[in-house]
Amino acid sequence: MNKNILNTGVQDFINKNLHTDIVSVLLKKNQFKDVSTQELVEQIEAKKKSKDKLPTWFSTKNIYYPNKLNIEQTSSEKTALYKASIIDKKTLLDLTGGLGVDSYFFSLKMIEVIHCEINKNLSKIATHNFKILGANHIKSISENGLNFLMKTNLFFDWIYIDPSRRNDAKGKVFFLEDCLPNVPENLEFIFNKSSNILIKTSPLLDFSVGIKSLKFVKEIHVIAINNEVKELLWVLEKNYKKPIQIKTINLTKNYDYIFNFELNAEKETLATYGKPQNYLYEPNAAILKSGAFKSISKQYKLNKLHEHSHLYTSDLLIDFAGRRFIIKKTIPYNKKEIQQLNLSKANITTRNFPESVANIRKKYKIKDGGYDYLFFTTNCLDEKIVIVCEKQ
């Protein structure tokens, strides 16, 4: 960490060049003796990436940025704020602290947060930023979190773990056993230091695989931002034996769409099925990841088009955690019917359908865009159909 970067002149240069082409910055003559051009570029690139992802950091003076890879790997403020809503009580250990975004938002809820980070330079950066942000009750420890946990006599209300999905030996990984630290291998020991554990994993991790690898899973949270699933959160409670709760949330600019259900109940639930009615519903990405396909039908009292189509319909319009469409017409899937639509442009989605969107566009010469939405899918009678809609 080069503290000269925090000098007023350097900070002014970084802020003035946030919208300058990086190549131009590299070609400029460096006017700072104690800060290299490469360091300037790193600060500019990382700060630019923080504008939408970390607006608090971006808008605060004298924040020191790590390289842009650390920014890409860290939690966004939106997801960090959501994580903080899960925890309670007084003390929390962030076992794999990183840049400290999660630690900062945890500190808004907890009396004391300990931030462990094995990378000494990143630990210094996080510590500096905590002070700038006024988070004075976060204690930084530049050490492997597991090593610290082995030495301390403290017992924590919560332990938070965001295992690194980049393994030096295996490259990018997704299974918990391949991440660093190996949580399943150390879980029994970690439960000796806290009764509540919160784990962040890749959204690609399958529920059944995660449940098999872990113990005492109480809740699984699926977090999406603007309909893109960003992470899974696993809440573990020592000796928990009740049914696992699944909580999905799609964070958008205007509203947070929440849908919750019980994992075992989904298996036992019976969906109702029917042909397209007046309205069509497409669940958001968080719900689709969760697999709540029958629970959607039951909770919202909607008919499902087909067991594997994951599209729903109703006569009356309802509030829904996903996209809603007015059905203009439903036609059988054949060349003549589609050509008679006379559409040169449309938004196309396929669900439980043998052809890809690209093939459909090529075959029927339909460009992307416009106000019409075409859903190529299969109905409850196993018929291939096209549903012509407008977005509600």
Burial 88-124 (b: 16+ CB within 10 A, else e): eeebbbbbbbbbbbbbbbbbebbebbbbbbbeeebbb
Question: Residue 25: its pLDDT value, please?
Answer: 83
Give the DSSP H or E segment for 124: helix 120-132
Q: Which residue in 289, 79, 288, 266 sits closest to 204, CA to CA? A: 289
The per-residue pLDDT of the chain, averaged, comes to 95
* pLDDT value at 166 more than 80: no
* pLDDT value at 170 more than 70: no
The pLDDT tens digits of the residues spanning 7-65 come to 999 999 999 989 988 888 888 888 888 999 999 999 999 999 999 999 999 999 999 99
Contact between 62 and 132 under an 8 Å Cβ cutoff? The reply is: yes
- Could you say which DSSP state residue 42 is in? H
| Integer Cα distance of 316 and 318 in angstroms | 6
For residue 100, what pLDDT band results from cuts at 50, 70 and 90? very high
| Integer Cα distance of 326 and 391 in angstroms | 6
The pLDDT tens digits of the residues spanning 357-388 come to 999 999 999 999 999 999 999 999 999 999 99
The pLDDT tens digits of the residues spanning 244-299 come to 999 999 999 889 999 999 999 999 999 999 999 999 999 999 999 999 999 999 99
User: How confident is the model over 65-92, as a mean pLDDT?
Assistant: 94
User: How confident is the model over 147-156, as a mean pLDDT?
Assistant: 96
Q: Tell me the one-letter amino acid at 380.
A: C
Question: Residue 69: its pLDDT value, please?
Answer: 87
For residue 167, what pLDDT band results from cuts at 50, 70 and 90? low
Question: Residue 174: its pLDDT value, please?
Answer: 74
The pLDDT tens digits of the residues spanning 314-355 come to 999 999 999 999 999 999 999 999 999 999 999 999 999 999
Question: Residue 31: its pLDDT value, please?
Answer: 84
Give the DSSP H or E segment for 236: strand 228-237
* pLDDT value at 67 more than 80: yes
Q: Tell me the one-letter amino acid at 65.
A: Y
| Integer Cα distance of 331 and 334 in angstroms | 8
Helices 8-16, 37-53: axis angle to 10 degrees equals: 60
Question: Residue 175: its pLDDT value, please?
Answer: 87
Question: Residue 172: its pLDDT value, please?
Answer: 75
Give the DSSP H or E segment for 107: helix 101-107
What's the Cα-to-Cα distance from 44 to each of 17, 65, 66, rounded to whole Å? 7, 9, 10
